[in-house]
Amino acid sequence: MTAPLKHSDPVNVDVALGDRAYDIIIGRNVLASLGERVARLRPGVRTAIVTDRTVAKYWLEPTEASLAAAGIPTSRIVVEEGEISKTYAGLEKVSEALIAAKIERNDLVIALGGGVVGDLAGFAAAILRRGVDFVQVPTSLLAQVDSSVGGKTGINSPQGKNLLGAFHQPVLVIADTAVLDTLSPRQFRAGYAEVAKYGVLGDEAFFTWLEKNHADIFKGGSAREHAIATSCRAKAGVVSRDERETGERALLNLGHTFGHALEAATGFSDRLFHGEGVAIGMTLAAQFSAKLGMIGEADAARVERHLVEAGLPTRLQDIAGFAQEGLADADALMALMAQDKKVKRGKLTFILLEAVGRAVIAKDVEPAPVRDFLKDKLAQKI
């Protein structure tokens, strides 16, 4: 791990993908440099900013000002906040607006927002005129450490999370840690689940550091930049080795098989943020690993304890409206997990743990033990 960064020291993380390599710029107030960086990257470019209503209140005008200062013309496309926009209708709205804005193949789409905006704008860019480049300007912790890096774009189907999409790498990522100051505590905590994930799946030393320093990350100290940079380096390394998730990259889905099913069961609503689903899913993955004898109960308890200390939900019973039909039913959850992108010929694939800091891909997991495990967890008292 690197030494903790100072607020005044932006860091550059390279995503090494040959002629499609790009930089992640991390630091406080680096958003102001967007226009200059875009002008240097693509002289004479036109841009269109895709954002949501909440982010627009805080960061749309500063983003437009940075582009204007560099002489870059831009237009704005504002969508509703949340998963409601990550749909067929949302994709149509953004795509038609980009066409109306006359964004051409040599222009840039700028995704200014959290994971929803990044996925939606990136997918629209991927299919517009058979492919237009885009820039990620992530405004949530979750997006800065996870969804803005690696080129996964897409929308949800009523049948499951992220079932429609494309691999489409950005050409630049600007992760301004100052924008995180405007997040609600719940949004920040949800993003922290993805930070913890990197320690749990592949870096026990980082996880130990998080156990000691997570309070400073939440306060906005120098530990915040360090945690984001470390997370981005971890993801960039995996993406550069396995861009299209044919092997190692699947490890980044730790907690997501359970988590995506829970998001679908709650209707992709604010009852359960994505990061909250990942926190519960990570805990369940650790506990299922212990049930299979892959790790000790103490390791599973360690993962859950840290997430609880960070203020995250870890049990199914922590979800609002837990008793509603479809959420407290093991068979219904199994049906949703059967729609997971990692399912092959009906067999479930889980990311499980051999230790804190060492995840493995478990293919062809039989559904019966998973169903029994879920029934036990669902039977726990609230």
Short-list 283, 255, 272, 256, CA closest to 327 = 272
Q: Report whether 278 belongs to an annotated binding site.
A: no
In the block, tokens 């304890």 appear at 305
Short-list 148, 144, 277, CA closest to 217 = 144
Active site residue 274: yes
Sheet of 108-113, strands arranged across:
11-15, 22-27, 172-176, 133-138, 108-113, 47-52, 74-79
Q: Where are the beta strands (DSSP E) in the chain?
A: 11-15, 22-27, 47-52, 74-79, 108-113, 133-138, 152-157, 160-167, 172-176, 348-355, 358-365
Q: Which residues contact 1 (CB under 8 A, 6 or more apart)?
A: 203, 205, 206, 209, 226, 230
Active site residue 249: yes
Q: Report whether 85 belongs to an annotated binding site.
A: yes
Active-site choice (194, 225, 243, 263): 194
Q: Report whether 81 belongs to an annotated binding site.
A: yes
Active-site choice (76, 253, 263, 341): 253
Asked if residue 153 lies in contact with residue 177, where contact means CB atoms within 8 angstroms, the answer is no
Amino acid at 309: E
Q: φ, ψ for residue 76 (rounded to 5)?
A: -125, 140
Q: Report whether 139 belongs to an annotated binding site.
A: yes
Q: Report whether 2 belongs to an annotated binding site.
A: no
Q: Which residues contact 132 (CB under 8 A, 6 or more apart)?
A: 98, 103, 104, 105, 107, 108, 109, 125, 126
* Paired tokens of 269: 């609503």
Active-site choice (214, 260, 315, 341): 260
Active-site choice (235, 302, 341, 377): 235
Active site residue 189: no
Active-site choice (256, 306, 342, 377): 256
Active site residue 226: no
Q: Report whether 194 belongs to an annotated binding site.
A: yes
Angle 184-188-191 from CA coordinates, rounded to 5°: 145
Q: Report whether 274 belongs to an annotated binding site.
A: yes
Active site residue 92: no
Q: φ, ψ for residue 264 (rounded to 5)?
A: -65, -40
Q: Report whether 197 belongs to an annotated binding site.
A: no
Active site residue 152: yes
Q: Report whether 118 belongs to an annotated binding site.
A: yes
Active site residue 256: yes
Active-site choice (130, 212, 219, 381): 130
Q: Report whether 171 belongs to an annotated binding site.
A: no
Active site residue 260: yes
Q: Report whether 83 belongs to an annotated binding site.
A: yes
Asked if residue 196 lies in contact with residue 282, where contact means CB atoms within 8 angstroms, the answer is yes
Task: Calculate the CA dihedral of residues 200, 204, 207, 212 and round it to 10 degrees.
Answer: 150
Task: Write out 11-24 in H/E/C secondary structure.
Answer: EEEEECCHHHCEEE
Q: Report whether 115 belongs to an annotated binding site.
A: yes
Active-site choice (274, 315, 341, 342): 274
Active-site choice (28, 152, 224, 315): 152
Mapped onto helix, strand or coil, the DSSP state of residue 311 is coil
The strand pair at 108-113 and 133-138 is best described as: parallel
Q: Report whether 82 belongs to an annotated binding site.
A: yes
Q: Report whether 248 belongs to an annotated binding site.
A: no
Tell me the catalytic residues. 130, 152, 194, 235, 245, 249, 253, 256, 260, 274
Which residues are documented as binding site?
A: 81-86, 115-119, 139-140, 152, 161, 194, 256, 274
Which residues are documented as binding site for NAD(+)?
A: 81-86, 115-119, 139-140, 152, 161
Which residues are documented as binding site for Zn(2+)?
A: 194, 256, 274
